């Protein structure tokens, strides 16, 4: 049977030593603090202690990581400041996202960034620094690997969790979550199923639509995993996941209209769905373990935005509202086969083959039903001849852009380590890769005419990249209490195609190249006071070339350019101290300097952005602290936790004078156990801080800001059997 969290921890704390966490950051099971790289792992038990459900609840406890919360299901994670935007890139992102080692990052413009609910996980591992050798493209700044809890072959298990909560000056909501584990053939076959339902209350008032607390978010879905172990040497896992996130109205505020307030003619709903279907074989061959995986992955997106302010000046008067619709999908298949030697020997190796093909489509439509009568008068018969019949239809579509994209990545990768002595180990790795991005777009309507061309225009292009991604580390393990390593690693991501009409006065390049970076770091892992105190520190320097930067033309269409070089450097430190039985203190601290290494001239009469400009969202200072105490030997085993997070001020866009960060958050949780039931009362954001998580300003729109959730109080009941 499951034991209450306090009972599990009591067993681990008998000698008061801190427990080891085993992860698959090197694509083999390995204790996290024995890895020669900057790796942090948050266990399922720790996530429960934090009350964590999504990225915003736990990523800020990891050094060097910033979660730029904006659109739920499409908010980016930035590691070590490796990003040129606080929203999403025009091309592939800089952080890799994985679940059970399966990649979830698109090779092109992001359809969605899955934020899988943290209920019933084994661990969430954050790998800082480029992970291109073992994990491939997109992991330029690092990677997040979400490991779901695997089926238990021997025990029936049941876990239910229910929460009710209320947000200050906002709505009420809650969640219900259920896990059932059934060993149909003990020791041989088991199935584990999880279902999540979460209703996050809104707190933004839309005065244009008259809707209070309009940014309500509904997250639903779950997963099923079956493990079949026909022999001691063979394990087969089948894994299926589906999760949807529906936002009733985008949750940004516009400060010009007042606190926590926006003003749009229509609501702006967003919806995302993620589907993963994975089959995995692990076969012990004696001399090595063969792992083969096959995955189907699908992400879909649909959104509606109010484009009235942006485009009403291009159309006849009094046509509001002007809705802009976008839908998209990314569907693909991923295959990986690798061979790994047994762990623990003097010589260890891993070698593998990887293939991914992802196809996507984006369809953007702009409407103004009241504009049909005046279009010809404004733009003449050339425009009317192009789309006159369509614009006079009841839909009023004056622009429709459809793009189809294909990204392929093929790779041969490997890593080998050799222990010269019990103290010295050398690790070398590399990845030979080939990427190919193809895109075709049909752009039809007003924007094409304003660009000086016909109403109907088709564009296509291809960008290919081939290269080698190396990695090398040297590790000195003085004894069981001291480890020091030095690491050099490289990361890369896809180049791509810009398929939009070039404006004569504001041209955009047809393609953009792959960018890459080299990371240099030195790290220490130390244990003190009989392994009750862990102190780790890492210093790093990143040389980033051909950085990809999202730009906009005069009509507001995004495109990607290569914008020179950047330099990122910093210090990350963590500490965990089990002060006494039941009393634990965790802390982390980050200093970061991330800035352009040369001037960037965006052209088209825009000002030059000088060398030394900080990268977007690159806060110089970041810290978090968690203090938890459990009374182990008293009735009800009560517990108390206090957590604090701080992030300093940072520009929200490259060279911008509007900002994010500069806030502290304090959360409090208290609870007790009654047999197998745990009851927890919590207050998140105790001081009701108005922290800005990201911001955007695109003329003629007013400044838009996304905020941390205001003070939220609630109660959670957790039952395990």
| pLDDT at residue 369 in the model | 75
CA distance linking residue 131 with residue 378, whole number of Å: 53
Q: Hunting for tokens 């899955």 — which residue is that?
A: 114
Q: 672, 674, 588, 663: which is closest to 629 by C-alpha?
A: 672
SS3 202: coil
In this prediction, residues 377-406 reach a mean pLDDT of 66
Q: pLDDT exceeding 90 applies to what percent of the chain?
A: 69
In this prediction, residues 331-360 reach a mean pLDDT of 95
Q: Hunting for tokens 């890492």 — which residue is that?
A: 538
Q: Around Cβ 154, how many Cβ atoms within 10 Å?
A: 11
- Residue of higher predicted confidence among 438 and 319: 438
In this prediction, residues 464-468 reach a mean pLDDT of 91
Residues 6+ apart with CB under 8 A from 81: 66, 141, 568, 570, 592, 594, 615, 617, 618
- pLDDT(672) > 90: yes
- pLDDT(303) > 80: yes
Domains of the chain: 5-720 (2.40.170.20)
- Region for residue 449 given its phi and psi (left: phi exceeds 0; alpha: psi -120 to 50; beta: otherwise): alpha
CA distance linking residue 27 with residue 336, whole number of Å: 12
pTM: 0.92
Min mean pLDDT across 378-382, 512-516, 617-621, 710-714 is at 378-382
What band does 476 get if pLDDT is binned at 50, 70 and 90? Answer: very high
- pLDDT(257) > 90: yes
Q: 474, 494, 485, 484: which is closest to 429 by C-alpha?
A: 474
Residues 6+ apart with CB under 8 A from 241: 99, 116, 148, 221, 222, 223, 274, 275, 276
Classify strands 142-148 and 95-99 as parallel, antiparallel or unpaired: parallel
SS3 603: coil
Residues 6+ apart with CB under 8 A from 699: none
Length of the chain: 721
**pLDDT tens figures, 48-74:** 999 999 999 999 899 999 999 998 888
What band does 394 get if pLDDT is binned at 50, 70 and 90? Answer: low
**pLDDT tens figures, 72-117:** 888 889 999 999 888 877 888 899 999 988 888 889 888 888 889 9
What single string gives the DSSP state of each residue in 614-654? Answer: BPTT--SEEEEEEEEEE-TTSTT--EEEEEEEEE--EESST
| pLDDT at residue 376 in the model | 63
What band does 421 get if pLDDT is binned at 50, 70 and 90? Answer: very high
Q: How far is CA 612 from CA 2, 22, 594, 597, in A?
A: 54, 40, 9, 6
Pairs from 170-175 (Cβ < 8 Å, separation ≥ 24):
170/201, 170/202, 170/203, 170/213, 170/709, 170/710, 170/712, 171/201, 171/202, 171/203, 171/212, 171/213, 171/216, 172/201, 173/198, 173/199, 173/200, 173/201, 173/216, 174/198, 174/199, 174/714, 175/53, 175/199
CA distance linking residue 386 with residue 383, whole number of Å: 5
| pLDDT at residue 7 in the model | 40
- pLDDT(328) > 90: yes
In this prediction, residues 425-454 reach a mean pLDDT of 87
Min mean pLDDT across 156-170, 439-453, 536-550, 584-598 is at 439-453
Write b or e for each residue in 273-311: b if 16 or more Cβ atoms lie within 10 A of its Cβ, otherwise e: bbbbbbebebeeeeebbebbbebebbbbbbbbbbbbbbb
SS3 691: coil
Min mean pLDDT across 233-247, 349-363, 499-513, 522-536 is at 499-513
What band does 388 get if pLDDT is binned at 50, 70 and 90? Answer: very low
CA distance linking residue 689 with residue 361, whole number of Å: 39
């Amino acid at each position: 049977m499951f034991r209450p969290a306090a009972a599990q921890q009591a067993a681990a704390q008998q000698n008061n030593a801190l427990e080891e966490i085993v992860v698959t950051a090197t694509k083999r099971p390995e204790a996290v603090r024995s890895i020669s790289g900057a790796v942090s792992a948050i266990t399922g038990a720790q996530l429960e202690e934090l009350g964590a459900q999504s990225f915003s609840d736990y990523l800020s406890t990891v050094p060097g990581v910033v979660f730029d919360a904006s659109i739920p299901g499409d908010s980016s994670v930035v590691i070590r400041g490796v990003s040129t935007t606080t929203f999403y890139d025009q091309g592939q992102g800089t952080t890799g996202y994985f679940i059970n080692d399966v990649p979830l990052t698109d090779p092109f413009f992001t359809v969605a960034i899955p934020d899988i609910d943290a209920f019933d996980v084994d661990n969430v591992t954050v790998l800082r620094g480029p992970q291109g050798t073992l994990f491939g493209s997109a992991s330029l700044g690092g990677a997040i690997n979400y490991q779901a809890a695997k089926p238990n072959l021997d025990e029936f298990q049941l876990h239910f969790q229910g929460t009710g909560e209320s947000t200050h000056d906002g709505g009420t909501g809650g969640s219900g979550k259920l896990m059932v584990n059934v060993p149909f053939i003990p020791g041989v076959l088991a199935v584990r199923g999880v279902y999540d339902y979460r209703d996050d209350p809104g707190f933004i008032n839309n005065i244009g639509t008259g809707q209070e607390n309009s940014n309500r978010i509904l997250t639903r879905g779950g997963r099923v995993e079956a493990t079949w172990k026909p022999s001691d040497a063979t394990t087969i896992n089948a894994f299926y996941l589906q999760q949807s996130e529906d936002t009733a109205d985008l949750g940004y505020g516009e400060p010009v209209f007042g606190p926590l307030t926006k003003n749009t003619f229509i609501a702006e709903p967003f919806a995302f769905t993620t589907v993963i279907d994975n089959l995995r074989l692990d076969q012990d061959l004696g001399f090595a373990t063969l792992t083969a995986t096959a995955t189907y992955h699908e992400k879909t997106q649909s959104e509606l935005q109010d484009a009235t302010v942006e485009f009403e000046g291009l159309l006849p008067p009094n046509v509001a509202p002007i809705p802009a619709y976008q839908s998209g999908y990314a569907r693909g298949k991923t295959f990986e086969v690798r061979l790994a030697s047994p762990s623990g020997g003097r010589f260890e190796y891993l070698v593998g083959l990887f293939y991914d093909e992802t196809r996507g489509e984006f369809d953007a439509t702009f409407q103004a039903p009241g504009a049909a009568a005046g279009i010809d008068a404004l733009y003449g018969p050339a425009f009317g001849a192009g789309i006159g019949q369509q614009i006079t239809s009841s839909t009023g579509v004056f622009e429709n852009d459809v793009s189809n994209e294909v990204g392929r990545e093929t790779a041969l990768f490997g890593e080998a380590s050799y222990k010269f002595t019990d103290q010295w180990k050398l690790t070398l790795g590399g990845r030979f890769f080939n990427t190919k991005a193809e895109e075709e777009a049909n752009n039809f309507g007003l924007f094409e005419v304003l660009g000086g061309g016909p109403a109907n225009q088709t564009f296509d292009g291809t960008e290919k990249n081939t290269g080698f991604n190396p990695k090398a580390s040297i590790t000195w393990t003085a004894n069981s209490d001291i480890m020091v390593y030095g690491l050099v690693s490289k990361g890369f991501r896809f180049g791509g195609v810009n398929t939009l009409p070039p404006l004569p006065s504001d041209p955009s390049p047809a393609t953009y190249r792959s960018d890459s970076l080299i990371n240099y770091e030195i790290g220490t892992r130390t244990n003190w006071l009989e392994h009750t105190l862990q102190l780790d520190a890492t210093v790093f320097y990143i040389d980033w070339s051909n950085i990809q930067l999202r730009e906009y033309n005069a009509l507001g269409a995004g495109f990607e350019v290569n914008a020179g070089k950047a330099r990122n450097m910093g210090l990350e430190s963590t500490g965990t101290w089990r002060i006494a039985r039941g009393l634990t203190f965790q802390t982390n601290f980050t200093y970061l300097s991330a800035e352009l290494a040369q001037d960037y001239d965006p052209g088209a009469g825009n000002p030059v952005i000088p060398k030394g400009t900080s990268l977007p969202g690159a806060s110089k200072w970041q810290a978090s602290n968690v203090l938890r105490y459990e009374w182990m030997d008293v009735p009800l085993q009560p517990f108390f936790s206090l957590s604090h997070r701080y992030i300093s001020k940072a520009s929200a866009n490259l060279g911008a004078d509007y900002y994010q960060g500069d806030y502290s958050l304090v959360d409090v949780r208290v609870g007790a156990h009654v047999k197998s039931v745990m009851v927890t009362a919590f207050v998140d954001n105790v001081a009701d801080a108005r922290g800005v998580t990201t911001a955007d300003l695109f003329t003629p729109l007013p400044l838009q800001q996304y905020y941390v959730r205001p003070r939220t109080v609630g109660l959670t009941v957790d039952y395990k059997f």
